[in-house]
Chains A and B, each alone.
Chain A
Amino acid sequence: MGIDGIILMDNNGRPIIQSGFRSTSPAYPLVHVDAVNDALSKALRPQDVDPVIHVPSLNIGDAPSACCHLQSSDVRVLCSISGNVDPLFGFAFIQTFLDILQEYFGTVSAATLRENFDTVYQLLEETLDSGGHPLTTSPNALRDIVLPPSLLNKLLSVAGANINTTINSGSGLGGAGGPFSSPIPWRKAGLRYTANEIYFDIVENLVAIINRNSVTLSSNVFGKIEANAKLSGTPDCILSFTNPNVLVDCVFHPCVRLQRWSQHKSLSFIPPDGKFILSEYRYAPNASRASSTVTPASSSREGVTLPFALKPEIDLQDYSASFNIIFTSRLTAKSIENVLIEMNLGEGASGIKCVASRGTASWAFDSQKRVLKWEISNVPPSSSWNLRGSFSTPTIAPRPSRALQVHFDIPTHTFSSLKVDQLKVSGESYKLYKGFRGRSTGNVEWRW
């Protein structure tokens, strides 16, 4: 199972960087770029573009192929596959590669890719075999082979005194710090830090659908434990929680010992160096209800209380519509941040007039996507906000989307109230600094 190649494309549909495509004809990548650009230009709405595009064969006798693509900031990543390759394989690789780029350059954008195109090429060479099979995708191992583009590295490589040269001469660091010398595939060998520290961020995302009677149709909390380890040597960590039973459908970084989790519900692992995602889980409130005292709100069937209430009043008239949306925080102690409420006003909507109450709220209209955006940067506890306005349409019956998308952040809050019991580190004797933090985000569809 291998992909045919990968193409990084800018916003104008021009390829910036592409992998070798050595097993295919030279026209093959071009056909795929064309197919994607064509689909993008034909679509009325961005959602209409299928993320997997069928590409008919160029010559009679060739196999038809497909192109998986996704947008990440202003870069579109294409992955061509043919034969009997699972498109998920393609998407999984795209995601992995984007993560690597993120790790290397901080941000992934057309500008950074152009800036560091030689590094990107080297990364492609190391992560993707010319047969389309992923090679080394662990960031720790990659950092040994492809140097991240730092000022120092540029200096060193120019001076010709870099570590690589030494490796090449067959002496020096070859044994202890050279590439592929680590017995643990995901961890660099021989790491030394003056200050040893490890941080865990628990990030939970609430995904819910509320119907027009404010009844929760579905709500799920998906959590992630992001870690950032800066530890010397080979530390063996055991992370345990006071309430691990609220976690279901858990998946882990390869470093986590699965046996240990299934038996003791604690995470035992030797961390990779740097940032990584230790675990992902789904919050099962029903399991927690028995053990904790959280009282589920009456409006929420599955026990996750929505932190806000929305009251959209939308009146559709001939050739126009008016609306009045009220957003109320239900939290009593914490404030909700970065609230973004989006509504698609439908084809041809224009003449938008809006009044957003209070100063910190603002609204904008994306005329390309026909989306009205209402942003409130900070909603203090129990406060109420509203947006009233109107728009007109060329057709007699305005046809806005029947749902509002609400995105929000709540810092220092987790829906699951997952508590870390302790973090034990064995195998190394130094003292280390540990940090834990919770954060919540939400993505709620509110129908009206």
Chain B
Amino acid sequence: MTSQQYLSALSENASRLGMRLQESISEHTRDLNIARGSGAAYLDTSDEKTKNIKKQLESSSEREKLDAMKRLVALISKGRNATEYFASVVKNVASPNLEIRKLVYIYLLKYAEHEPDLALLSINTFQKDLGDSSPLIRGMALRVLSGIRVGMVGSLVVLAIKKCAKDTSPYVRKGAALAVPKCYDLDNTHLPALIEIITTLLQDRSPLSLGAVTVAFEAVCPTRLDLIHQHFRRFCKLLVEVDEWGQVEVMNLLLRYARTMLVRPVWKDGVGGGVDEDEHELDKDLKLLLDSVKPIFQSRNPAVILAATRVLFYGAPPSYWSLFVNPLLRLLATSREVERVVLADLLIMTRTEPHLFSSHYTRFLVRSDDFTQVKKDKIRLLLNVLNIDNYAAIMREFIDYAEDINDTVVTEAIMALGQCATRIPECMPQCLTALITMIKSRYDIVVSSAVMVLKRLVQLQLSTQVTVAYASTSQSPLSIISHLARRIDDIKHAQARACVVWLVGQYGASEEKGLGPEGLADWAPDVLRKLAKSFAGEASLVKLQVITLASKLFVLSPNDKTLGLLAKYVFSQARYDVNYDVRDRARMLSSLLVGVGLEANGVDREERAGVVLRREQVRLVLFEGKAVAGEEHSVGDHKALVGSLSRVTGKSMQGDEILPDWLERGVESSLRDSEYDAPPPPPVATALSSSKARAIGPSVSSPIVLTPTGGTSPIPGSRGKGPWTDLDSFYADEEEEDEESDEEEEDGESDGEARTEEDESEGEISGQSDSEKGSKHDA
């Protein structure tokens, strides 16, 4: 439009505007009050306010109608049922006032399902609007038409979508694409027609609608990746110009396509090779995809960054992986919520590839105002990236985190500290010093966590017999146990207390001649003495261990009289305990000890039947086979993929995506040749946009109407060329009635079969398989 036309249009409007303003000057003064008055007044939905709605809707004044519609929308937002006004509302569907109309649309979309007959009254208006000159009106009409979920208009909607799919405005074409899944949901018998529409839309040259087309494709025929062959290269090139939300969709599709259709990229195991070295080995289509994803990392949208990361992580050789490290780290600083989600991804990646992030560990340090979940994730992450260069700093962090105000974080941090020591033996001394200091802490949770970790470490060392150089004798396992034993009074937490008691029993043996009973370390009997005294007040967890301790000490030193009495005292207390586990354990152990000489609970030796074990045998039973428990793993997220929902919730979510594995040989690359590659993309959008397409220079603007056979002709052509890598499998496939099961891996082949059928049935076959496989849509 020339500037003159524009000016005249403007002046025409200005005058019209002036006229209307003059005409309704009296109304203005009234409306000023409304404009100033709170819109929240509409939310006052008392009965006297709502009873006028019907009258207002029928009135001739637009102001009244608008007022009524606002009240209705207010009712909807309050969750009240507003179906009774349906008939009156439908009359306003053709209102010349756009604002009224939009509110009517909101109402219709909400209630059309409940009043299908009345909703039909509005269909005509929408059909008329589809021919409107404004793309906004056309788009809106289609959106409402496809959204009103009335079954009988299904075929009308298909026609409307078909018409809009060829619209000149990309906005309308985008709307058409988004309407496809809705139509499919409503009535899946339209599948063949819908696939045809998608095929048309896939050829769209404007990047604006590409995202929406991808949405439609994924919703309606996700297995028909053969439709993408022709467009793969074009999609890659257009990717940077697609809107941010569309980029996410398109990248996910392209990754899936690559993993399904392209040959597995080979790379040398040594990660050292730079990008240049790998280049000649990569499939050229895969390389195109990876290169077009690179600029995407400069998007501001976190979802886009993550989708791009997925493409590289699951689709590129490791030499490309460094590209996403900094963008992901940047996301950590964008917002607390984004940080929470991205950390889940980093956890997955660092599990297998810690080297990518280990030098950036300072970006993962916990802040005291982080979300609790974030703190935990960061601790795990730090543990994942722990290596010989950064262990000292990370360990100091863990020690700091042990002072957090949140108990679960404290536990995690101290556990992590223990893991440090097991993974990097060099930090064992420092770690033990820290843990021993923590036992003196004033906070229960610190003490008990430290005790648990110490127990694990001590047990690990004693069981593996690895001689580690200790900084001082105070860090040898046995002296730690003696230290713990002496502090038993300060250790309050039941589980920690039970741990110490167990340690004392297990490692209380000593060859040296001490002050105490023969065969025992001098600190061990005192623990039993204290606990025998406080037995009644202990938690049952501790009681169980006290019984075990008594038995163990007795077996080690059966000749000591005091010890025998102590053991006897413990057993008689346990016999009358309220907890049956404690009673059972006492009974079991006391009969085990009969052979050693314990005459607990007054049972006569002669009355006892069965086998009586000798002291050596009892010792074996009590002391051997105490393997160290393996490392605890965080559950659930091992199989989760980067960018999936389940990696964040930690639970399996239905509809979790399974990433297809690469093909060993890949489909013929000539399948992806198409006439679309030749001319440059359309000039209008690109000339002003940010893309590199600008560099191509003055483009030949190819006509919008593509070659009439555009949708279908390449397909028979490609069949002629023999795209199937294996003729046998092609025929085998054709004979097979039931193709669903192997469609996933042999997409190319099975689709080939479909192609041999008539156009109609082609759609139906894959349609069936879609609906059977795609629990996604049904769910």
Task: Show the binding face of A for B, using Cβ within 8 Å.
Answer: 1-2, 15-18, 20, 22-23, 45, 47-52, 54, 62-66, 68, 70, 81-89, 91-93, 95-96, 111, 114-118, 121-122, 125, 129-131, 133-135, 137, 144-147, 149, 151, 154-176, 178-181, 183-185, 190, 207, 209, 211, 217-218, 220, 222, 234, 248-259, 261, 269-270, 277, 280, 282, 342, 344, 346-347, 396-397, 399-403, 405, 445, 447
Q: Which residue of B lies closest to A248 (CB)?
A: B326
Please tell me if the beta carbons of B40 and A86 are within 8 angstroms of each other in the complex: no
Please tell me if the beta carbons of B337 and A91 are within 8 angstroms of each other in the complex: yes
Q: How far is the CA of A160 from the CA of B383 in the complex (A)?
A: 65
Please tell me if the beta carbons of B649 and A180 are within 8 angstroms of each other in the complex: no
- Least distance between A255 CB and chain B CB atoms (Å): 6
Please tell me if the beta carbons of B338 and A168 are within 8 angstroms of each other in the complex: no
Please tell me if the beta carbons of B365 and A217 are within 8 angstroms of each other in the complex: yes
- Least distance between B152 CB and chain A CB atoms (Å): 18
Say whether B745 faces chain A, with CB atoms less than 8 Å apart.
no
The answer, among A66, A111, A160, A180, for a CB contact under 8 Å with B135, is: A180
Please tell me if the beta carbons of A234 and B688 are within 8 angstroms of each other in the complex: yes
Q: How far is the CA of A41 from the CA of B67 in the complex (A)?
A: 38
Q: A residues within 8 A CB of B330?
A: 222, 249, 251, 280, 282
- Least distance between B132 CB and chain A CB atoms (Å): 7
The answer, among B42, B400, B694, for a CB contact under 8 Å with A118, is: B42
Q: A residues within 8 A CB of B579?
A: none
- A–B complex contacts, Cβ < 8 Å, 16 sampled: A64-B653, A83-B653, A83-B654, A83-B655, A92-B301, A114-B38, A117-B40, A118-B99, A133-B211, A151-B36, A159-B27, A173-B10, A251-B330, A257-B690, A259-B691, A261-B298
- Least distance between B427 CB and chain A CB atoms (Å): 18
The answer, among B185, B406, B648, B654, for a CB contact under 8 Å with A23, is: B185
Q: A92-B301, A159-B24, A403-B367 are in contact. Are A64 and B135 (CB under 8 A)?
A: no
Q: How far is the CA of A168 from the CA of B103 in the complex (A)?
A: 16
Q: How far is the CA of A165 from the CA of B98 in the complex (A)?
A: 6
**Per-residue 0/1 for B521-555: is the Cβ within 8 Å of any A Cβ (1 yes, 0 no)?**
00000000000000000000000000000000000
Please tell me if the beta carbons of B335 and A95 are within 8 angstroms of each other in the complex: yes
Q: A174-B134, A405-B369 are in contact. Are A117 and B9 (CB under 8 A)?
A: no
Q: How far is the CA of A382 from the CA of B689 in the complex (A)?
A: 49
- Least distance between A225 CB and chain B CB atoms (Å): 11
Say whether B234 faces chain A, with CB atoms less than 8 Å apart.
no
Q: How far is the CA of A207 from the CA of B364 in the complex (A)?
A: 12
Q: How far is the CA of A366 from the CA of B368 in the complex (A)?
A: 17
Please tell me if the beta carbons of B35 and A154 are within 8 angstroms of each other in the complex: yes
Please tell me if the beta carbons of B327 and A63 are within 8 angstroms of each other in the complex: no
Q: How far is the CA of A18 from the CA of B329 in the complex (A)?
A: 33
Q: A residues within 8 A CB of B139?
A: 180
The answer, among B12, B132, B365, for a CB contact under 8 Å with A168, is: B132
Please tell me if the beta carbons of A147 and B99 are within 8 angstroms of each other in the complex: yes
- Least distance between B378 CB and chain A CB atoms (Å): 12
Q: A residues within 8 A CB of B98?
A: 162, 164-165, 167-168
Please tell me if the beta carbons of A251 and B690 are within 8 angstroms of each other in the complex: no
Q: B residues within 8 A CB of A1?
A: 215, 248-249, 252
Please tell me if the beta carbons of B10 and A251 are within 8 angstroms of each other in the complex: no
- Least distance between B192 CB and chain A CB atoms (Å): 21
Q: B residues within 8 A CB of A66?
A: 645, 648-649, 653
**Per-residue 0/1 for B312-356: is the Cβ within 8 Å of any A Cβ (1 yes, 0 no)?**
000000000000001101100101111011100000000000000
Q: A218-B365, A220-B363 are in contact. Are A117 and B341 (CB under 8 A)?
A: no
Please tell me if the beta carbons of B327 and A180 are within 8 angstroms of each other in the complex: no
Q: Which residue of B lies closest to A318 (CB)?
A: B442
**Per-residue 0/1 for B161-200: is the Cβ within 8 Å of any A Cβ (1 yes, 0 no)?**
0000000010100100010011001000000000000000
Q: How far is the CA of A2 from the CA of B218 in the complex (A)?
A: 11
The answer, among B32, B109, B326, B657, for a CB contact under 8 Å with A84, is: B657
Say whether B440 faces chain A, with CB atoms less than 8 Å apart.
no
Please tell me if the beta carbons of A155 and B28 are within 8 angstroms of each other in the complex: yes
Please tell me if the beta carbons of A115 and B39 are within 8 angstroms of each other in the complex: yes
What count of chain B residues pass the 8 Å CB interface test? 141
Q: Quick one: which of B136, B363, B657 has the most chain A CB within 10 A?
A: B136
Q: B residues within 8 A CB of A185?
A: 208, 243, 685
Q: Which residue of B lies closest to A160 (CB)?
A: B62
Q: Which residue of B lies closest to A187 (CB)?
A: B688
- Least distance between A60 CB and chain B CB atoms (Å): 12
Please tell me if the beta carbons of B9 and A175 are within 8 angstroms of each other in the complex: yes
- Least distance between B317 CB and chain A CB atoms (Å): 22
- Least distance between B407 CB and chain A CB atoms (Å): 10
- In the complex, besides A151-B36, A218-B365, A397-B443, 9 extra interface pairs with C-beta distance below 8 angstroms are A82-B653, A114-B39, A114-B43, A115-B40, A144-B136, A158-B62, A159-B20, A250-B298, A346-B405
Say whether B567 faces chain A, with CB atoms less than 8 Å apart.
no
Say whether B638 faces chain A, with CB atoms less than 8 Å apart.
no
Please tell me if the beta carbons of B303 and A256 are within 8 angstroms of each other in the complex: no
- Least distance between A37 CB and chain B CB atoms (Å): 15
Please tell me if the beta carbons of B20 and A86 are within 8 angstroms of each other in the complex: no
Q: How far is the CA of A332 from the CA of B57 in the complex (A)?
A: 68
Q: How far is the CA of A123 from the CA of B362 in the complex (A)?
A: 41
Please tell me if the beta carbons of A51 and B73 are within 8 angstroms of each other in the complex: no
- CB contact list, B203-247 vs A, under 8 A: 208, 211-212, 215, 219, 240, 243-245
The 4 A-B residue pairs with the shortest CB-CB distance in the complex, in nearest-first order = A164-B98, A161-B20, A63-B654, A83-B655
Q: Quick one: which of A47, A218, A347, A405 has the most chain B CB within 10 A?
A: A47
Please tell me if the beta carbons of B77 and A18 are within 8 angstroms of each other in the complex: yes
Q: How far is the CA of A86 from the CA of B251 in the complex (A)?
A: 13
Q: A161-B20, A180-B169 are in contact. Are A166 and B13 (CB under 8 A)?
A: yes
Please tell me if the beta carbons of A47 and B690 are within 8 angstroms of each other in the complex: no
Q: A18-B77, A155-B28 are in contact. Are A254 and B644 (CB under 8 A)?
A: no
Q: Quick one: which of B21, B63, B98, B149 has the most chain A CB within 10 A?
A: B98
- Least distance between B377 CB and chain A CB atoms (Å): 10
Say whether B70 faces chain A, with CB atoms less than 8 Å apart.
yes
Q: A66-B653, A84-B645 are in contact. Are A91 and B6 (CB under 8 A)?
A: no
Q: B residues within 8 A CB of A256?
A: 690
Q: Which residue of B lies closest to A301 (CB)?
A: B362
Say whether B31 faces chain A, with CB atoms less than 8 Å apart.
yes
Q: Quick one: which of A1, A137, A218 has the most chain B CB within 10 A?
A: A1
The answer, among B20, B133, B149, for a CB contact under 8 Å with A174, is: B133
Q: A residues within 8 A CB of B79?
A: 15
Q: B residues within 8 A CB of A166?
A: 13, 16
Please tell me if the beta carbons of A251 and B171 are within 8 angstroms of each other in the complex: no
Say whether B516 faces chain A, with CB atoms less than 8 Å apart.
no
Please tell me if the beta carbons of A164 and B99 are within 8 angstroms of each other in the complex: yes
- Least distance between B83 CB and chain A CB atoms (Å): 13
Please tell me if the beta carbons of A129 and B300 are within 8 angstroms of each other in the complex: no
- Least distance between A379 CB and chain B CB atoms (Å): 22
Please tell me if the beta carbons of B368 and A125 are within 8 angstroms of each other in the complex: no
Q: Quick one: which of B63, B367, B370, B373 has the most chain A CB within 10 A?
A: B367
Q: How far is the CA of A420 from the CA of B646 in the complex (A)?
A: 45
Please tell me if the beta carbons of A158 and B63 are within 8 angstroms of each other in the complex: yes
Q: Which residue of A lies closest to B79 (CB)?
A: A15
- Least distance between B216 CB and chain A CB atoms (Å): 9
Say whether B767 faces chain A, with CB atoms less than 8 Å apart.
no
Please tell me if the beta carbons of A259 and B694 are within 8 angstroms of each other in the complex: yes
Q: A residues within 8 A CB of B656?
A: 84
Please tell me if the beta carbons of B245 and A84 are within 8 angstroms of each other in the complex: no
- Least distance between A273 CB and chain B CB atoms (Å): 14
Q: A residues within 8 A CB of B578?
A: none
Please tell me if the beta carbons of B405 and A92 are within 8 angstroms of each other in the complex: no
- Least distance between B241 CB and chain A CB atoms (Å): 9
The answer, among B20, B106, B442, for a CB contact under 8 Å with A121, is: B106
The answer, among B9, B363, B692, for a CB contact under 8 Å with A172, is: B9
Please tell me if the beta carbons of A62 and B779 are within 8 angstroms of each other in the complex: yes
Q: Which residue of B lies closest to A136 (CB)?
A: B171
Say whether B611 faces chain A, with CB atoms less than 8 Å apart.
no
Say whether B372 faces chain A, with CB atoms less than 8 Å apart.
yes
Q: How far is the CA of A122 from the CA of B651 in the complex (A)?
A: 36
The answer, among A16, A82, A218, A402, for a CB contact under 8 Å with B655, is: A82
